[in-house]
Amino acid sequence: MQASPLWPLLSCGSVVPMLRVLAVDDELPALEELAYLLRQDDRIEHVSTAADGVTALQDMVQMIGGGERLDGVFLDIRMPGLDGLDLARLVGGFPSPPRLVFVTAHEECAVQAFELEAVDYLLKPVRAERLAEAVRRLEAAAAPALEPGQDDVIPVELGGRTRFVPQQAVWFAEAKGDYVRLHTVDGSYLVRMSLAALERRWSDAGFLRIHRSTLVSARHVSELRFEGGRVTVTVGTETLQVSRRHSRQVREQLVRQHRGAIS
């Protein structure tokens, strides 16, 4: 069973919004190219632009002060007047600052950028696939955390009908490019979201990363097996491989979680 990938993730009936971002660069061709690439990404709802740091700061104050949502800023570093690093320091003082992605031709500022808690650091010329990865990281960082006991619901379109798939029904999720396929006892469903964003939202609900492309629900794991150097977990009716990188952490988390359930 396959769903049309038309719906984003819902949390208790409210849609997780697409991203609203600001692109800042004093070089007009670079700014136009960056804005164009961002607008091609289905996860981006709106792109504003600013050609210098002062204008960007004024725009952000106006947007946030007016109650407009701003999820991220794609920010050049070397700009006349107020440069990107100084602007980032000012943004960090906002009550709810937007996430930062630096876009620059200069490699030497990366340490300073990540000290300012940047989500990503892109080098010019920006490649579309690298920008898509930055958007995935921004999406994961901007996703709101769930309240304790809260259950997400994902609506999927099935031949003119909308079916609501609760988080608790999901056995495991696997990455499919910019989409995630959710597997349940009733079938599988494709939704437009990154696995990193889903992991962040569902980690407190007992979902474990067992592979770079797979999350599993601990509540549905019935067996953990070590055999011939391979580690696998049985989830529902499926047997899934655990990567070497994740095997120790998965074992410890499963044992700890199931001991807690027993006690």
Tell me if 197 sits within 8 A of 140, measured CB to CB. yes
For residues 53 and 169, give the distance between their C-alpha atoms in angstroms, rounded to a whole number: 47
Tell me if 128 sits within 8 A of 167, measured CB to CB. no
Q: Assign residue 90 a region: left if phi > 0, alpha if psi is -120 to 50, beta otherwise?
A: alpha
User: So what's the pLDDT on residue 160?
Assistant: 65
**In the predicted model, what is the mean pLDDT of residues 151-159?**
69
Give me the domains of the chain, ranges plus CATH numbers.
19-142 (3.40.50.2300), 153-260 (2.40.50.1020)
For residues 186 and 10, give the distance between their C-alpha atoms in angstroms, rounded to a whole number: 19
Query: Which residues, at least 6 apart from 169, have a Cβ–Cβ distance to it below 8 Å?
Result: 184, 185, 186
**In the predicted model, what is the mean pLDDT of residues 173-189?**
87
Residue 3 banded pLDDT, cuts 50, 70, 90: very low
pLDDT tens sequence across 8-66 = 444 443 344 689 999 999 999 999 999 999 999 988 999 999 999 999 999 999 988 88
Reported residue count of the chain is: 263
Neighbours of 103 (CB within 10 A): 24
Q: Is the peptide bond before 155 cis (omega within 30 degrees of 0)?
A: no
For residues 122 and 130, give the distance between their C-alpha atoms in angstroms, rounded to a whole number: 8
Q: Given a cut of 60, is residue 134 above it in pLDDT?
A: yes
pTM beyond 0.85, yes or no = no
User: So what's the pLDDT on residue 154?
Assistant: 75
